A and B are shown apart, each in its own frame.
Chain A
Amino acid sequence: MAGTVKLEKLGKPGVFINCDTFDDDAKSASHDNGMPTVRRRIIKSSEFYKLRGTVKDIRPLVEKVFDELIDALTRPLTSGEANPPGAKEEVDGPPEITITGESFPIAIEEFNQQFLEKRWGDGLPLVPPTPERVGWMLSGTVRSPHEVIGKVNPRQGAATIEKIAINAVMAGAKPEYLPVIIAAMEALTDENFDDLHILVSAGSFSLIIVVGGPIADEINMNSGIGFLGHGWRANNTIGRAVRLATLNIGKMWPGANDMGLTGRVSPHTFYTFAENAKLSPWKPYHASRGFKAGDSTVTVATIGGSSPMQNFYGGMIGTWTAQGILDNMVADIIRTDRGLFGLWGAKGVGQYPGSGVGARSHFILLFPELAEELKKMGFDQKSLQDEIYRRTSVRYEELSPADRRGIQTGMETGVVPPERKAVFQEALKPGGMVSVLITPENLHFFVAGGAPGCAFSFSYFRLPPYNRIAVLTRLVTGATLTKAGALE
């Protein structure tokens, strides 16, 4: 829809075609893009998706809608279309809502019912965000409730500290978690972070939310066995607070403007965990992102959709060696990314060359026992990145002409960043070796879990479709109830 409005603003009259499944989404997007009366014509999803495979099959559908499209292009605008409703601020209801009931349990039930009917909940029971409870939540930060930290897609709702706190209460979080939740929201609403793709794409993409540094222990996050599971309030409610805050501040709903076809695995909490600083033999992840090892941080990163995890094995059933698991990582990355060279040169599906296609980033979770074994082999995170980068290289002579064209075009369009260009110029010649990764830094290592050692990973596009970055680390600041994160 944004593209249609862009062309209209350049003076060209047009019509936007959408499937009926996406009609609410298209209406909402036309409003958000400032042209609520844009001409649209609808085709049936039940016909389009099945018939579009061949010219012969799609012909009857095009013939059926042909006159409608001609009409949309030529029939003069109605008065209503030519005079769209004026701009006004959008608020959903009053700042405070009163719920009544014959008893407290009935009022709580009524509250949950009303919020879910308004699409203000996530389907699980909510904690009522009473003014007292929200005040209690805000006691976890020195930051002003009125501070706007950013805007949440798709509706560009303003994320204030107070709104984040309200949603954190609803999620069941505690005040000492609030600075962590705020840091996660700061990352998601960063002007360069692609929150749109994770929040509404048909691919049902998801998030990892990784807490690093001493605050994880202070708020009692589980970073050992079962770190992605249930049973720890911080692990389970920090992610839920982010889920509710994005849902309510960005205003999305499944099938309306969140078009994730399957919905997300771990839909209520995303994948929220902490690094295991006590057992890790290495510096925390955020030390590789320009932060001090002793800082407390939150990293958010978009990951794949309905089957997001790749297992590199280890564990307690089969016997394993660190070398064997490392070999599995290398083999898997080559298997999944080897076929993408040709797409390095793709125009991309967004504003930037290569966006949403081509080379990928890998987020690899190592259990501490495995990290310890890798350390014995001489690896830290940096040298492990370099090792995997080197071993995931393909001989120039094995590259197809399409592979070579893709890499060359990627160098010319900036998909390969300027600082990496010389590396690929040197590699893309007889005798050269070209890695399937654009840079070793596209491998991200987190140490979590316990014994036995094992490893698995998530992956995602290195360049997301709708913005510049899909992984970002933010410092936890403004905490009042923990030593960590207390300083700006």
Chain B
Amino acid sequence: MSKKSVELAVLNPRGKVEARSSFAPNPRVKELAGKRVGLYSNGKPGMDNFYTVLEELLKKKFPSVTVKLLTGAFEITDRDAKDWAPQIDTFVYGVGD
């Protein structure tokens, strides 16, 4: 008789997650000069300070850059996204977490 004499069959408790379509990120901008750079913050304290410095550094390195700051929901709302996207060429999304 085998030493492992007891077998216990148990059912899997884990939920099935449906297959989801995968999308690739967009091609990057080649350079930032002359571009409109969006900085998105969910408004948690501190990200504004982070972006103040980031904007300063961006403008110093790329004087022709335009910075578009937006503070909104934890995850940008559909309305804000639709309004903001046409105003930017590329973006940084910081949530503070």
Contact = CB atoms under 8 A, between A and B. Distances in A.
A158 B7 contact: no
Interface residues of A, number: 112
A4 B16 CA distance: 26
Contact of A88 (B7, B19, B28): B19
A318 interface: no
A345 to B, nearest CB: 14
Contacts of B38: 7, 12, 14
B8 A102 contact: no
A62 B7 CA distance: 57
Contacts of A52: 45-47, 49-50, 96
Given A8-B26, A52-B45, A77-B27, A167 B13 contact: yes
B7 A10 contact: no
Given A73-B32, A93-B12, A100 B4 contact: yes
Interface string A23-52: 000000000101111110000000011001
Contacts of B13: 120, 129, 163, 166-167, 170, 244-245, 248-249
B16 to A, nearest CB: 5
B78 A351 contact: yes
A35 B17 contact: no
Consensus secondary structure, chain A interface: mixed
B39 to A, nearest CB: 10
A73 B97 CA distance: 20
Contact of B12 (A34, A48, A96): A96
A82 B15 contact: no
Interface residues of B, number: 66
B21 A12 contact: no
A69 interface: yes
A163 B25 contact: no
Contacts of A128: 8, 10
Contacts of B9: 96-99, 130-131
A244 B37 CA distance: 44
A107 B8 CA distance: 7
A130 B10 contact: yes
Interface in A58-72: 58-59, 61-63, 66, 69-70
B93 A4 contact: yes
A224 interface: no
B75 A251 contact: no
Contact of A74 (B30, B72, B85): B30
Given A11-B85, A14-B38, A158-B18, A348 B73 contact: yes
A14 B20 contact: no
Contacts of B8: 98-101, 104, 107-108, 111, 128, 130
Interface in B73-97: 73-78, 81-82, 84-85, 88-97
A417 interface: no
B95 A18 contact: yes
A81 to B, nearest CB: 6
A87 interface: yes
Contacts of A38: 25
Given A94-B12, A170-B13, A106 B24 contact: no
Interface string A150-183: 0110011111101100110010000000000000
A347 interface: yes
A146 to B, nearest CB: 11
A92 interface: yes
A66 B57 contact: yes
Interface in A401-438: none
A75 B28 contact: yes
A14 B7 contact: no
Contacts of A466: 74
A326 B53 CA distance: 52
Interface of B: 3-32, 37-38, 40, 42-43, 45-47, 49-50, 52-54, 57, 61, 72-78, 81-82, 84-85, 88-97
Given A3-B93, A77-B24, 10 more contacts: A1-B75, A14-B38, A14-B90, A55-B53, A81-B25, A91-B17, A100-B7, A104-B8, A130-B11, A251-B14
The 10 closest A-B CB pairs, nearest first, are A157-B15, A52-B46, A249-B15, A3-B76, A14-B91, A13-B26, A90-B17, A92-B14, A62-B53, A3-B75
11 contacts: A8-B25, A17-B92, A52-B96, A54-B49, A55-B49, A93-B14, A99-B7, A107-B8, A134-B11, A166-B12, A167-B13
Interface of A: 1-19, 21-22, 32, 34-39, 48-49, 52-55, 57-59, 61-63, 66, 69-70, 73-77, 81-104, 106-108, 111, 120, 128-131, 134, 151-152, 155-160, 162-163, 166-167, 170, 202, 244-245, 248-251, 259, 347-351, 355-356, 465-466
